[in-house]
């Protein structure tokens, strides 16, 4: 039986992978928390690879605190670049396929056309820069990798925008939400299914891919849809990014083109609103 090591198992995507694997009865996945699989501990990593001899590694471990990263550059770089390098070296040594998760924050988002994998990267902050550095270190170490850039992740698990909006919408009379940042929400359960599909198919179409749900929206319209579908009555006011300053600058337009993953890997992608309905129904059922 093939074995897959999942690093960062307690994060949002790691929990979604565990959930989808249970639903699909997918065997052979070993879920590792930070304590069990620290991607900065080279000796411990080598022991894990020797013990499990994995066919695939999924790296969900990342420094994702976008604003905090601006003051925590060294740690962000260690996790998002050096940790990836550690995994890529061991994957090359063992003939293991690496599946690395990256982000739309590698782009400046200055245009208004969906972004291709070959488009110029220009991160606006430390988080995006260090994630890009992690992407860039892989091809020089191994050819057997899939790097999946994604955006605006949410799910029933961990903290995310959907859960925050549902909570705040029930607590407050009015919410101010940014409308001049445009992207695509991604249901992390959908992404988890795509990742497991790549493993199950045994695909060797290695390389860099974009994955999010279909369509595009602003944070304001996303929040409005959350309230509408959840039947939460709250006044929402659209505001500009300049009215809600943050430590790190976000890309104003980060809609990614998914043609490559659809054609080369045969992935079917649902519209963001359809996936949002599924997530909200599951959240409501758990209440």
Which residues make Cβ contacts (< 8 Å) with residue 285, sequence separation at least 6? Answer: none
In which region does residue 255 sit, left (phi positive, over 0), alpha (psi from -120 to 50) or beta (all else)? beta
b/e code 118-134 from CB counts within 10 Å (16+ = b): eeebebbbbbbbbbbbb
Which residues on adjacent β-strands are paired with residue 29? 4
**Of 127, 154, 187, 220, which one is the catalytic site residue?**
127
Taking CA atoms, 99 is separated from 8, 74, 88, 197, 231, in Å, by 13, 24, 10, 12, 38
Asked if 244 is an active-site residue, the reply is no
What backbone torsions phi and psi does residue 213 show, to the nearest 5 degrees?
-70, 170
What backbone torsions phi and psi does residue 39 show, to the nearest 5 degrees?
-70, -5
Q: Which two tokens stand for residue 94?
A: 């063992």
Q: How many other C-beta atoms can be found within 10 angstroms of the C-beta atom of residue 47?
A: 11
End-to-end CA distance of the chain: 38
What backbone torsions phi and psi does residue 95 show, to the nearest 5 degrees?
70, 25
Give the active site residues.
127
């Amino acid at each position: 039986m093939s074995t897959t090591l999942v690093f960062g198992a307690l994060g949002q995507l790691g929990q979604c992978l565990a959930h989808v694997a249970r639903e699909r009865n997918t065997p052979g996945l070993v879920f590792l928390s930070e304590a069990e699989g620290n991607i900065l501990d080279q000796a411990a990593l080598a022991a894990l690879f020797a013990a499990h001899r994995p066919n695939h590694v999924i790296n969900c471990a990342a420094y994702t605190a976008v604003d905090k990263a601006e003051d925590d550059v060294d740690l962000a770089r260690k996790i998002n670049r050096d940790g990836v390098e550690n995994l890529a070296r061991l994957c090359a040594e063992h003939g293991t396929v690496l599946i690395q998760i990256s982000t739309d924050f590698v782009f400046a988002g200055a245009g208004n056309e969906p972004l291709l994998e070959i488009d110029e990267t220009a991160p606006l902050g430390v988080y995006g820069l260090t994630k890009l550095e992690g992407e860039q270190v892989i091809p020089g170490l191994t050819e057997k990798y899939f790097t999946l850039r994604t955006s605006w992740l949410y799910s029933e698990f961990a903290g995310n925008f959907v859960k925050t909006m549902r909570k705040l919408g029930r607590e407050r009379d009015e919410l101010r939400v940014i409308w001049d940042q445009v992207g695509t929400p991604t249901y992390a359960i959908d992404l988890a299914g795509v990742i497991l599909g790549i493993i199950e198919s045994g695909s060797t179409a290695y390389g860099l891919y974009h994955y999010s749900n279909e369509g595009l929206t602003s944070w304001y319209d996303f929040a409005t849809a959350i309230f509408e579908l959840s039947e939460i009555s709250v006044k929402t006011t659209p505001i500009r990014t300049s009215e809600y300053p943050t430590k790190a600058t976000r890309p104003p337009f980060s809609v990614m083109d998914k043609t490559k993953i659809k054609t080369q890997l045969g992935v079917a992608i649902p519209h963001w609103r359809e996936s949002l309905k599924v997530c909200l129904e599951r959240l409501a059922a758990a209440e």
